[in-house]
Protein backbone atom coordinates (compact mmCIF):
# COMPACT_ATOMS: atom_id res chain seq x y z
CA UNK A 1 0.00 0.00 0.00
CA UNK A 2 2.69 2.44 1.04
CA UNK A 3 4.51 1.90 -2.25
CA UNK A 4 1.35 2.78 -4.16
CA UNK A 5 1.15 6.14 -2.41
CA UNK A 6 4.76 7.07 -2.92
CA UNK A 7 4.67 6.30 -6.65
CA UNK A 8 4.83 9.20 -9.08
CA UNK A 9 1.98 7.72 -11.10
CA UNK A 10 -0.42 8.00 -8.16
CA UNK A 11 0.68 11.51 -7.40
CA UNK A 12 0.32 12.66 -11.00
CA UNK A 13 -3.09 10.99 -11.31
CA UNK A 14 -4.26 12.75 -8.14
CA UNK A 15 -3.05 16.10 -9.45
CA UNK A 16 -4.91 15.49 -12.71
CA UNK A 17 -8.13 14.65 -10.83
CA UNK A 18 -7.72 17.71 -8.61
CA UNK A 19 -7.04 19.93 -11.60
CA UNK A 20 -10.13 18.64 -13.41
CA UNK A 21 -12.20 19.08 -10.26
CA UNK A 22 -11.11 22.72 -9.90
CA UNK A 23 -11.65 23.38 -13.59
CA UNK A 24 -15.13 21.83 -13.45
CA UNK A 25 -16.01 24.02 -10.45
CA UNK A 26 -15.03 27.23 -12.22
CA UNK A 27 -16.48 26.16 -15.57
CA UNK A 28 -19.23 23.52 -15.52
CA UNK A 29 -18.73 23.05 -19.24
CA UNK A 30 -15.20 21.78 -18.66
CA UNK A 31 -16.20 18.14 -18.23
CA UNK A 32 -17.22 17.54 -21.81
CA UNK A 33 -16.35 15.38 -24.77
CA UNK A 34 -14.82 18.42 -26.42
CA UNK A 35 -12.33 18.89 -23.57
CA UNK A 36 -11.43 15.24 -23.75
CA UNK A 37 -10.85 15.23 -27.50
CA UNK A 38 -8.82 18.45 -27.21
CA UNK A 39 -6.71 16.78 -24.56
CA UNK A 40 -6.21 13.65 -26.66
CA UNK A 41 -5.39 15.73 -29.74
CA UNK A 42 -2.84 17.74 -27.78
CA UNK A 43 -1.20 14.55 -26.57
CA UNK A 44 -0.68 12.93 -29.98
CA UNK A 45 2.72 14.38 -30.93
CA UNK A 46 3.85 14.92 -27.35
CA UNK A 47 2.92 11.31 -26.55
CA UNK A 48 5.07 9.83 -29.31
CA UNK A 49 8.00 12.03 -28.28
CA UNK A 50 7.53 11.06 -24.65
CA UNK A 51 7.56 7.33 -25.40
CA UNK A 52 10.88 7.81 -27.16
CA UNK A 53 12.30 9.92 -24.36
CA UNK A 54 11.18 7.24 -21.88
CA UNK A 55 13.04 4.42 -23.60
CA UNK A 56 16.24 6.50 -23.70
CA UNK A 57 15.93 7.44 -20.03
CA UNK A 58 15.38 3.79 -19.09
CA UNK A 59 18.55 2.83 -20.96
CA UNK A 60 20.45 5.29 -18.78
CA UNK A 61 20.89 7.96 -21.45
CA UNK A 62 19.18 11.18 -22.41
CA UNK A 63 18.22 12.45 -25.84
CA UNK A 64 17.43 16.10 -26.50
CA UNK A 65 17.82 15.93 -30.27
CA UNK A 66 14.52 14.22 -31.09
CA UNK A 67 12.65 17.46 -31.79
CA UNK A 68 15.29 18.44 -34.35
CA UNK A 69 15.04 14.98 -35.91
CA UNK A 70 11.27 15.46 -36.14
CA UNK A 71 11.57 18.92 -37.66
CA UNK A 72 14.15 17.85 -40.24
CA UNK A 73 12.15 14.74 -41.10
CA UNK A 74 8.84 16.51 -41.67
CA UNK A 75 10.46 19.23 -43.75
CA UNK A 76 12.56 16.93 -45.89
CA UNK A 77 9.74 14.43 -46.39
CA UNK A 78 7.28 17.13 -47.43
CA UNK A 79 9.79 18.64 -49.81
CA UNK A 80 10.89 15.36 -51.40
CA UNK A 81 7.36 14.00 -51.79
CA UNK A 82 6.16 17.25 -53.35
CA UNK A 83 9.02 17.32 -55.81
CA UNK A 84 9.43 13.68 -56.73
CA UNK A 85 6.63 11.41 -55.57
CA UNK A 86 3.39 13.31 -54.99
CA UNK A 87 1.42 10.11 -55.63
CA UNK A 88 2.69 8.45 -52.43
CA UNK A 89 -0.17 7.42 -50.11
CA UNK A 90 -0.33 8.73 -46.51
CA UNK A 91 1.00 5.57 -44.93
CA UNK A 92 4.05 5.66 -47.16
CA UNK A 93 4.73 9.21 -45.94
CA UNK A 94 4.68 7.93 -42.36
CA UNK A 95 7.04 5.08 -43.25
CA UNK A 96 9.42 7.41 -45.10
CA UNK A 97 9.40 9.71 -42.06
CA UNK A 98 10.27 6.82 -39.79
CA UNK A 99 13.06 5.83 -42.13
CA UNK A 100 14.61 9.31 -42.23
CA UNK A 101 14.20 9.63 -38.45
CA UNK A 102 15.88 6.25 -37.94
CA UNK A 103 18.82 7.31 -40.11
CA UNK A 104 19.30 10.51 -38.11
CA UNK A 105 18.91 8.50 -34.88
CA UNK A 106 21.60 6.16 -36.16
CA UNK A 107 24.01 9.11 -36.18
CA UNK A 108 23.31 9.56 -32.44
CA UNK A 109 23.58 5.81 -32.02
CA UNK A 110 26.95 5.70 -33.76
CA UNK A 111 28.41 8.51 -31.66
CA UNK A 112 27.02 7.15 -28.38
CA UNK A 113 27.15 3.37 -28.74
CA UNK A 114 30.16 2.94 -31.01
CA UNK A 115 32.30 5.96 -30.10
CA UNK A 116 31.22 5.82 -26.45
CA UNK A 117 30.57 9.57 -26.10
CA UNK A 118 28.29 10.99 -23.36
CA UNK A 119 24.66 11.00 -24.45
CA UNK A 120 23.76 14.53 -23.35
CA UNK A 121 26.72 16.08 -25.13
CA UNK A 122 26.11 14.10 -28.31
CA UNK A 123 22.41 14.88 -28.55
CA UNK A 124 22.89 18.55 -27.64
CA UNK A 125 25.35 18.66 -30.50
CA UNK A 126 23.16 16.84 -33.00
CA UNK A 127 20.12 18.92 -31.94
CA UNK A 128 21.96 21.97 -33.10
CA UNK A 129 23.60 20.38 -36.12
CA UNK A 130 20.44 18.74 -37.54
CA UNK A 131 18.40 21.90 -37.25
CA UNK A 132 21.15 24.24 -38.39
CA UNK A 133 21.89 22.03 -41.37
CA UNK A 134 18.23 22.09 -42.41
CA UNK A 135 17.89 25.86 -42.07
CA UNK A 136 21.14 26.53 -43.89
CA UNK A 137 21.11 24.01 -46.69
CA UNK A 138 17.53 22.81 -47.14
CA UNK A 139 15.29 25.73 -46.50
CA UNK A 140 13.72 28.13 -44.06
CA UNK A 141 10.42 28.75 -45.84
CA UNK A 142 7.25 27.11 -44.62
CA UNK A 143 5.85 24.47 -46.94
CA UNK A 144 2.18 25.39 -46.96
CA UNK A 145 1.14 22.97 -49.68
CA UNK A 146 1.80 19.54 -48.30
CA UNK A 147 2.01 16.46 -50.55
CA UNK A 148 -1.46 14.93 -51.19
CA UNK A 149 -0.78 11.90 -49.00
CA UNK A 150 0.00 14.03 -45.96
CA UNK A 151 -2.97 16.30 -46.69
CA UNK A 152 -5.23 13.27 -46.83
CA UNK A 153 -3.84 12.01 -43.53
CA UNK A 154 -4.37 15.47 -42.00
CA UNK A 155 -8.10 15.15 -42.70
CA UNK A 156 -8.54 11.65 -41.25
CA UNK A 157 -10.68 11.54 -38.13
CA UNK A 158 -11.85 8.57 -36.10
CA UNK A 159 -14.60 10.43 -34.24
CA UNK A 160 -16.49 13.49 -35.34
CA UNK A 161 -19.50 15.03 -33.69
CA UNK A 162 -21.42 18.03 -32.59
CA UNK A 163 -21.84 19.20 -29.02
CA UNK A 164 -25.13 20.28 -27.51
CA UNK A 165 -24.03 23.89 -27.89
CA UNK A 166 -23.46 23.47 -31.59
CA UNK A 167 -19.65 23.37 -31.54
CA UNK A 168 -17.81 20.53 -33.24
CA UNK A 169 -15.42 18.04 -31.82
CA UNK A 170 -13.24 15.45 -33.49
CA UNK A 171 -10.45 13.04 -32.75
CA UNK A 172 -7.65 12.73 -35.26
CA UNK A 173 -6.70 9.33 -36.65
CA UNK A 174 -3.11 9.97 -35.61
CA UNK A 175 -4.28 9.22 -32.08
CA UNK A 176 -4.26 5.57 -33.12
CA UNK A 177 -0.63 5.90 -34.22
CA UNK A 178 0.29 7.25 -30.78
CA UNK A 179 -1.62 4.42 -29.13
CA UNK A 180 0.17 1.98 -31.41
CA UNK A 181 3.56 3.47 -30.49
CA UNK A 182 2.72 3.10 -26.80
CA UNK A 183 1.65 -0.53 -27.21
CA UNK A 184 4.67 -1.40 -29.35
CA UNK A 185 7.06 0.22 -26.88
CA UNK A 186 5.38 -1.54 -23.98
CA UNK A 187 5.78 -4.84 -25.82
CA UNK A 188 9.46 -4.19 -26.54
CA UNK A 189 10.23 -3.08 -22.99
CA UNK A 190 8.36 -5.80 -21.14
CA UNK A 191 7.97 -8.75 -23.43
CA UNK A 192 11.23 -8.95 -25.37
CA UNK A 193 14.71 -9.78 -24.13
CA UNK A 194 15.87 -6.64 -25.93
CA UNK A 195 13.63 -4.57 -23.66
CA UNK A 196 14.90 -6.29 -20.54
CA UNK A 197 18.44 -5.62 -21.72
CA UNK A 198 17.54 -1.93 -22.06
CA UNK A 199 16.42 -1.97 -18.42
CA UNK A 200 19.54 -3.92 -17.44
CA UNK A 201 21.88 -1.42 -19.08
CA UNK A 202 20.04 1.41 -17.36
CA UNK A 203 20.49 -0.40 -14.05
CA UNK A 204 24.22 -0.99 -14.44
CA UNK A 205 26.22 -0.80 -17.66
CA UNK A 206 29.19 -2.57 -16.10
CA UNK A 207 27.09 -5.49 -14.87
CA UNK A 208 25.44 -5.73 -18.28
CA UNK A 209 28.84 -6.01 -19.95
CA UNK A 210 29.98 -8.63 -17.47
CA UNK A 211 27.09 -10.98 -18.15
CA UNK A 212 27.54 -10.70 -21.88
CA UNK A 213 24.87 -8.20 -22.98
CA UNK A 214 25.79 -6.53 -26.25
CA UNK A 215 25.68 -3.05 -24.75
CA UNK A 216 26.63 -1.26 -27.96
CA UNK A 217 24.03 -3.07 -30.01
CA UNK A 218 21.26 -2.34 -27.52
CA UNK A 219 22.20 1.35 -27.21
CA UNK A 220 22.37 1.67 -30.98
CA UNK A 221 18.88 0.20 -31.25
CA UNK A 222 17.56 2.65 -28.64
CA UNK A 223 18.72 5.74 -30.53
CA UNK A 224 17.55 4.42 -33.89
CA UNK A 225 14.15 3.59 -32.39
CA UNK A 226 13.84 7.04 -30.84
CA UNK A 227 14.82 8.58 -34.18
CA UNK A 228 12.12 6.58 -35.97
CA UNK A 229 9.50 7.66 -33.41
CA UNK A 230 10.61 11.28 -33.74
CA UNK A 231 10.36 11.07 -37.54
CA UNK A 232 6.86 9.65 -37.20
CA UNK A 233 5.89 12.45 -34.82
CA UNK A 234 7.27 15.02 -37.25
CA UNK A 235 5.13 13.79 -40.15
CA UNK A 236 2.06 13.68 -37.91
CA UNK A 237 2.73 17.18 -36.62
CA UNK A 238 2.99 18.61 -40.15
CA UNK A 239 -0.05 16.68 -41.38
CA UNK A 240 -2.22 17.86 -38.50
CA UNK A 241 -0.97 21.46 -38.74
CA UNK A 242 -1.29 21.28 -42.56
CA UNK A 243 2.03 23.02 -42.86
CA UNK A 244 5.68 22.01 -42.54
CA UNK A 245 7.26 24.88 -40.60
CA UNK A 246 11.01 24.32 -40.12
CA UNK A 247 10.94 26.48 -36.99
CA UNK A 248 8.36 24.27 -35.26
CA UNK A 249 8.94 21.59 -32.61
CA UNK A 250 12.50 22.45 -31.51
CA UNK A 251 12.22 23.80 -27.97
CA UNK A 252 9.67 21.19 -26.94
CA UNK A 253 12.32 18.64 -25.91
CA UNK A 254 12.66 19.72 -22.29
CA UNK A 255 8.87 19.75 -21.74
CA UNK A 256 8.76 16.23 -23.09
CA UNK A 257 11.56 15.01 -20.83
CA UNK A 258 9.85 16.82 -17.96
CA UNK A 259 6.60 14.96 -18.67
CA UNK A 260 8.44 11.65 -18.61
CA UNK A 261 10.31 12.45 -15.40
CA UNK A 262 7.05 13.65 -13.86
CA UNK A 263 5.70 10.19 -14.62
CA UNK A 264 8.40 8.56 -12.53
CA UNK A 265 11.27 7.85 -14.93
CA UNK A 266 14.65 8.51 -13.34
CA UNK A 267 17.35 10.53 -15.05
CA UNK A 268 19.85 8.05 -13.58
CA UNK A 269 18.32 5.29 -15.71
CA UNK A 270 16.74 1.91 -15.18
CA UNK A 271 13.35 3.16 -14.03
CA UNK A 272 10.26 4.35 -15.81
CA UNK A 273 6.79 3.19 -16.84
CA UNK A 274 4.54 3.87 -19.79
CA UNK A 275 1.59 4.51 -17.45
CA UNK A 276 3.58 7.21 -15.74
CA UNK A 277 4.68 8.67 -19.07
CA UNK A 278 1.11 8.82 -20.36
CA UNK A 279 -0.05 10.47 -17.12
CA UNK A 280 2.82 12.93 -17.25
CA UNK A 281 1.97 13.91 -20.82
CA UNK A 282 -1.72 14.17 -19.92
CA UNK A 283 -0.95 16.54 -17.06
CA UNK A 284 1.26 18.78 -19.15
CA UNK A 285 -1.27 18.93 -22.00
CA UNK A 286 -4.03 19.61 -19.48
CA UNK A 287 -2.10 22.51 -18.01
CA UNK A 288 -1.34 23.91 -21.47
CA UNK A 289 -4.89 23.58 -22.76
CA UNK A 290 -6.93 24.37 -19.71
CA UNK A 291 -5.10 26.62 -17.29
CA UNK A 292 -7.05 29.46 -18.86
CA UNK A 293 -10.31 27.86 -17.63
CA UNK A 294 -9.15 28.37 -14.04
CA UNK A 295 -8.73 32.06 -14.77
CA UNK A 296 -4.96 31.87 -14.77
CA UNK A 297 -3.29 33.87 -17.56
CA UNK A 298 -1.64 31.85 -20.31
CA UNK A 299 1.76 33.33 -19.51
CA UNK A 300 1.64 31.43 -16.22
CA UNK A 301 1.68 28.11 -18.09
CA UNK A 302 5.41 27.62 -17.91
CA UNK A 303 5.45 28.61 -14.24
CA UNK A 304 2.70 26.09 -13.53
CA UNK A 305 4.47 23.35 -15.44
CA UNK A 306 7.73 24.11 -13.63
CA UNK A 307 6.05 24.00 -10.24
CA UNK A 308 4.39 20.70 -11.14
CA UNK A 309 7.77 19.24 -12.08
CA UNK A 310 9.31 20.44 -8.82
CA UNK A 311 6.49 18.99 -6.76
CA UNK A 312 6.00 15.87 -8.83
CA UNK A 313 9.63 14.83 -8.79
CA UNK A 314 10.62 16.48 -5.52
CA UNK A 315 7.96 14.95 -3.32
CA UNK A 316 8.78 11.28 -4.01
CA UNK A 317 12.50 12.08 -3.72
CA UNK A 318 11.90 13.81 -0.40
CA UNK A 319 9.80 10.89 0.83
CA UNK A 320 12.51 8.44 -0.17
CA UNK A 321 15.09 10.51 1.66
CA UNK A 322 12.96 10.59 4.79
CA UNK A 323 12.43 6.84 4.60
CA UNK A 324 16.18 6.35 4.29
CA UNK A 325 16.78 8.60 7.30
CA UNK A 326 14.29 6.55 9.31
CA UNK A 327 16.07 3.35 8.37
CA UNK A 328 19.56 4.63 9.25
Partner 1 sequence: MTTDLVTFDHVTKTYSGITALDSVGFSIAAGEAVCLAGENGSGKSTLIKILAGVEQPDRGVISIAGQPQDALNPRLSAAAGIKVIFQDFSLFPNLSVAENIAFSAELGHGTRLVHRARIADTARATLARIGVDIPLTAAVETLSVAHKQLVAICRALATEARLIIMDEPTTALTEREVRVLLDIIRRLKADGVAVLFVSHKLAEVLEVCEKVIVLRNGQKVAEGPAADFDAASLTRHMTGRDVAEAPPAPLRADAPELMRVEGLNKAGAFEDVSFTLHAGEVLGVSGLLGSGRTALAKALFGLVAPERGRITLDGRSVPLGDPLAAAGAGIGYVPEDRLTEGLFLTQSILQNISVGRLDAHGASGILDIGGLLAEARDWLKRLSVKAPDPDAPVRSLSGGNQQRVVLARWMARSPRVLVLNGPSVGVDVGSKAEIHGIIAGLSAQGLGVIVISDDLPEVLATCHRILVMKAGRLIEDIPSGQVSGTDLAHRLAS
Q: Applying CB under 8 A, which part among 35-43, 108-116, 186-194, 282-290 lies near partner 1?
A: 186-194
As to burial, measured by CB atoms within 10 angstroms (0-12 exposed, 13-18 middle, 19+ buried), residue 165 is exposed
Quick one: 190 or 321, whose CB is closer to partner 1?
Answer: 190
Q: Determine the straight-line distance between the first and last CA of the chain, rounded to whole angstroms.
A: 22
Judged by CB under 8 A, which of 203, 243, 245, 301 binds partner 1? Answer: 203
Quick one: 195 or 231, whose CB is closer to partner 1?
Answer: 195
Judged by CB under 8 A, which of 26, 192, 303, 307 binds partner 1? Answer: 192
Handedness of CA 232, 233, 234, 239 (dihedral sign): positive
CB atoms within 10 A of CB 252: 18
> Of residues 255-284, which lie at the interface with partner 1 (CB under 8 A)?
270-271
Which element (helix H / strand E) includes 250? none
Any bridge partners for residue 160, and if so which?
170
CB of 222 vs partner 1, minimal distance in Å: 16
Judged by CB under 8 A, which of 28, 166, 212, 295 binds partner 1? Answer: 212
**Burial 206-240, CB ≥16 within 10 A → b, else e:** eebeeeebebbebbbbbbbbbbbbbbbbbbbbbbb
Q: Does 322 bind partner 1 (CB under 8 A)?
A: no
Quick one: 141 or 210, whose CB is closer to partner 1?
Answer: 210
Up-side HSE of residue 25: CA atoms within 13 Å toward CB? 8
Q: Does 4 bind partner 1 (CB under 8 A)?
A: no
CA distance 84 to 285: 37
Quick one: 30 or 199, whose CB is closer to partner 1?
Answer: 199
Q: Does 316 bind partner 1 (CB under 8 A)?
A: no
Which element (helix H / strand E) includes 169? strand 168-172
Handedness of CA 255, 260, 265, 268 (dihedral sign): negative
Q: Applying CB under 8 A, which part among 143-151, 187-195, 217-225, 300-308 lies near partner 1?
A: 187-195
Judged by CB under 8 A, which of 14, 158, 176, 193 binds partner 1? Answer: 193
In contact, 89 and 149? CB cutoff 8 Å: yes
Q: Applying CB under 8 A, which part among 11-19, 189-197, 216-224, 289-297 lies near partner 1?
A: 189-197
Number of residues that bind partner 1 (CB under 8 A): 23
Judged by CB under 8 A, which of 44, 200, 232, 293 binds partner 1? Answer: 200
Q: Applying CB under 8 A, which part among 126-134, 167-175, 207-215, 225-233 lies near partner 1?
A: 207-215
Instruction: Compute the CA torsion angle 305, 283, 250, 38 (nearest 10 deg).
Output: -130
Q: Does 196 bind partner 1 (CB under 8 A)?
A: yes
Q: Which residues bind partner 1 (CB under 8 A)?
A: 190-196, 199-200, 202-204, 206-208, 210-213, 270-271, 326, 328
Amino acid sequence: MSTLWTRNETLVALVIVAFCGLAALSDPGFLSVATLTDLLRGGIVLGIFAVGALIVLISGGIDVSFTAIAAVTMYVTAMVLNALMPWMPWWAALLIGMGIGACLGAINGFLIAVMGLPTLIVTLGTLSVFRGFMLTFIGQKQITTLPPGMREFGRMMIVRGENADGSFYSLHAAFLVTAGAIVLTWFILHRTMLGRQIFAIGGSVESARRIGINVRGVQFFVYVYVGALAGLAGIIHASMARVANPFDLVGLELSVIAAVVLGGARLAGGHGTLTGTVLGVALIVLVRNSLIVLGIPATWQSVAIGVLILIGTGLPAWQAKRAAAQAA
